[in-house]
Structure 1
Amino acid sequence: MNQRYQSSAAVTDGQAEPEFTRDRELYYQATTWPGARLPHAWIFDSRGRQHSTLDLAGHGRFVLFTGLGGEAWVEAASKVGEELGLKIDVHVIGPRQAYADHTGDWARVREIGDSGCVLTRPDHHVAWRSLALPGDPVVELRRALGQVLSK
């Protein structure tokens, strides 16, 4: 754990890598900084069953996580995915959604606002994140995925 790397397949948009606050060899420090592995957090489906964020990511697909203020990311992922010929799964996490953060685990580790997003690669590493909803999420997601996929 605590593995982070810099690569063209991880778009930081100039966001500084978070400093380790404790010994990195002894303590795990969750982060959604691009290049880090997606942190685990428990979230709950509408039936009350708990799921790990790690179980929702991967499966051979890019996955985008957002909150209640980020509904525009659903449309952006659909449009950009269609343009690029890939399926992007999207999980809106919040009250009255398919998944909710009842314990606040995701809110503690996500490092983005409710309208932001975290895009993960099929290998569970964070490819890109947006701290909040930009003026045009389609343009920003297209740019980020274009860089990650070298297109």
Structure 2
Amino acid sequence: MKKSLFYASFLIVSVSIQVTSQASEWGSYLFCVNDNDPADWAPGPKNLKGVPGFENQGSSGSTQGTWIDGVAKLNKYAHSVLDVSYVYKNFDDAQKFCTALKNSCTEKWGTNYTHVGASGASIPYSVWGYVSVNYKDTDGSIKNSVCPNWNYKEFPNDGGPAY
């Protein structure tokens, strides 16, 4: 009985996230998290051209905050992720994108805001999610990882979407 309840809940959450993603704009807003207090969140700063250094490479301009282009997915632990709609040419570029998100947070809110997440539009505000980046590995395969956050502090990691 417990297994069937879990699978039913998982299915409802999955369908809800996918329907929300299809029905809204493709992307979500950056939010910043205090490394010393994971309950202390702040909105990402307004970026009229996108994430500095990554305009049109996973981010777009917004007057509301830092917009990250992507679609909602679930990782293997059934947690929502915003899968960035851009494949970076290598590991270093993907890591630099995550660092640019973090730098946006630390410049706006202070050095303790080193963790990032995404919420709004593709990922409902009530759900929130990790930011997942895709990059080409040295063998040409596509790999993914979530940007460092309160659960995944290192990069790369296994928090990305479960395709």
Please give the TM-score of this superposition, normalised by the length of structure 1. Answer: 0.30
| Higher strand proportion (structure 1 or 2) | 2
TM-score by length of 2: 0.28
